[in-house]
Structure 1
Amino acid sequence: MQAIVDFILEVDKLKAVTRKIRLRDIGRYENSAEHSWQLALLAGSLAPHAPVGIDMDRVIRMLLVHDIGEIDTGDTMAFVEGGWDERKAAELAAVRRIFGLLPASEGERLLALWREFDESLTPEAVFANAVDRAMPVLLNLANQGQSWRENGISHERVVRRVGPPIQAGCPALWAFLEERLADARQLGYFGEDVQPG
C-alpha cells in the first residue's frame, strides 16, 4: 500500500507541469495532468469514430500515463524541432524512476503502456496519439489561436505536425479539424513561422 501511495503522491507533481496553451476562457495555462485527464475524456467520447475493435480502456490508460515523464523533464511543445531523441531518452529515464515506485508488476505494466504510446505501432496507440495531437488544436481553435500566435506557429506547420497522426488514428476527427483549421487561417489565428522556445 505504501508504494502505491508514494507513486500517487509523486504523480501529483504532474499538476505543476505547465504547458504552452491556456485553458478556454481562463487566463492561466493548462498543466499536464489536466491535459491527460481531458485526453482520456476526449478518447472515450470519440469511441464511435475509433477503428473497429479498438480497446478503449487501453487507449484511456495510455493517455493517462503518456506524459508522466514530464514530471522530471517538463513539457516540450509539439512544434519544437530537433533534440527529440535526447528528450525521449530523458522521459524514458523519468518514467522508469516514477513507475519504479510501484510494485514491480504494476510498474512494468504502466511502463509497457507508456512505451506502446511512444512507439505508436498498435491501433490503440495510433488512436491515442491522434487524440493527443487533436486536443491542443481544439483548445487553440477555441482560444483564437493563442498558443500558435504566441509561439509563432504557422498554419502549414500545424497541419504538417498534427495532420498525419490524426488522419492515421481518427480520419473523421481530421476531416472535422482540417476544415476548421482552414477557417482559422482566414481569421488570423496563426503566427509567423518561427522556432518556438
Structure 2
Amino acid sequence: MTSEDLPEAISQGRLRIDQVDQRLITLIGERKTISEQVQAARLSAGGIRTDTKQEMRVITRYAQALGPAGRDIALSLLALARGAHQPQEEPPLPNDDTPLLAASVQQPDGTPDRLRRQIEFIIEVDRLKDVFRQSPLLAANRKENDAEHSWHLALMTLVLAEYADEPIDTSKVLALVVLHDLVEIYAGDTFLHDTAAAVDQEAREQQAADKLFTLLPADQRDHFRSLWDEFEERSTPEARFAKSMDQLQPLLLNYGNRGGTWRTPGVTEQDLLAGKSLIKDASADLWRYAQNLIHTGAENGWLPRI
C-alpha cells in the first residue's frame, strides 16, 4: 500500500465500521425485544423478572470471547434488556395529615395497650419498604429500598464483624443498623451527593425521630431514640462500625453496576473518597478495600479522576 492509497483505505474502513455498527444496533434492538418477550412470559407464569443464572451465562460467554471488555458489553446488554434506562417513580412521603398505617388495621378486642402500641409501630415502619434510595440493585432492575438496605447492613455486620478495629458487641451493631434509617419514613432518603438536600437533613431527621419513636411505649421510645442518636453521633465502637457498614454497602452495589450513582454529574474520585472516609474510623482493612473499589472504578472510567 502506497501513501497515496492510505486515505482511501481509511475512508473505506470507516464506511465498513459504520455498516457493522448499524447491523449491531439492529441486532441489539432485536435482542432487547426478544428478552422483553421472555421476561413477560416468565412473569405471566408466576416467575421472577430476572433469571440470574441465565444472566451469568451471558456474562461468561462474552467475557470468554472478548475478555474484560466483553463482560462490560454483556452487562450493558442485560441492563438495556431490563429497561434500566427507564426512570423509577418515587412514591410521595407521608405528611402530618397522613394517618398511621395501623388506622386501617383493626386490632383484636382485648389487646393490651402496650402490645397495641408496639404493633402499631411495627405496622407503621412497613413504610420503609416504600422509601427508595439512589443505589441500583444488582439482582433486579430498580433502586434499592431502605428496608433492603437495612437488612443488607445487618447481614454484612454478621459477616464482617471480624474486621472491626475495636472490640464490638455485634448484637448492638445489629440494632443500630436496623434502626438507623427508620426516620426516613418521614424524612426521606438524602442522597450522598445532594448538597442542597443535606442542608436541612439533620433537622428533618430529628423531627422524624421525634414523631416515629413516640409511637412506642415510653421505655422503648427512649431506648430506640438513644440508639438512633448513638448511630448519628458515632460515639461508640458499635456506632462507628455500623456507620462503616452503611457507607460500604452502597459502594458494593455501585461498583457492581459499573459506577451506578458514581456517574452523577460533578462527582469525582476525590468526592467519593471524602464521602466514604468514615469507614476508616471503624476498620483499616475495610477502608483499604473501599479505596481499592473507588480507585478501580476510576481506572475503569466510571467516575472522573480529579
Q: TM-score, normalised by structure 2?
A: 0.60
Equivalent AA in structure 2 for residue 89 of structure 1:
A
Equivalent AA in structure 2 for residue 59 of structure 1:
V
Matches within 5 A, 1:67-146: 67-81=181-195, 84=198, 86-146=200-260
**How many positions carry a matched residue from both structures?**
192
Query: Where does residue 293 of structure 2 map in the other structure?
Result: 180
Larger radius of gyration: 2
Partners of 2:167 and 2:209 lie apart in 1 by: 29
CA separation of 1:30 and 1:192: change in aligned 2, threshold 3 A: farther
Deviation at 1:82, TM superposition (A): 5.2
Q: TM-score, normalised by structure 1?
A: 0.91
CA separation of 1:42 and 1:151: change in aligned 2, threshold 3 A: farther
Contact 2:134 2:143 in 1 (8 A): yes
Deviation at 1:152, TM superposition (A): 4.3
Contact 1:21 1:136 in 2 (8 A): yes
Q: Answer with 114-123 or 87-96: which moved more.
A: 87-96
CA separation of 1:129 and 1:109: change in aligned 2, threshold 3 A: same
Identity %: 35
Equivalent AA in structure 2 for residue 171 of structure 1:
A
Contact 1:43 1:128 in 2 (8 A): yes
Query: Where does residue 75 of structure 2 map in the other structure?
Result: none
- C-alpha distance after superposition, 1:73-92 (max 9, x if no partner): 11001122256462112111
- C-alpha distance after superposition, 1:70-109 (max 9, x if no partner): 0011100112225646211211111121111111101111
Query: Where does residue 48 of structure 1 map in the other structure?
Result: 162
SS at match of 2:141: coil
**Structure 1 stretches of 4+ moved >3 Å:** 82-85
SS at match of 1:77: coil
Out of 256, 259, 271, the residue aligned to residue 157 of structure 1 is 271
- C-alpha distance after superposition, 1:34-69 (max 9, x if no partner): 111101111121111113421111111011011111
Matches within 5 A, 1:21-36: 21-36=135-150
SS at match of 2:144: strand
Greater relative contact order (CA < 8 Å, ≥ 6 in sequence): 1
Partners of 2:275 and 2:262 lie apart in 1 by: 13
Deviation at 1:15, TM superposition (A): 0.6
Equivalent AA in structure 1 for residue 215 of structure 2:
L
CA separation of 1:79 and 1:44: change in aligned 2, threshold 3 A: same
Query: Where does residue 59 of structure 1 map in the other structure?
Result: 173
| Alpha-carbon RMSD | 1.7
* Structure 2 gap segments, 5+ residues each: 1-114
Q: Answer with 8-17 or 21-30: which moved more.
A: 21-30
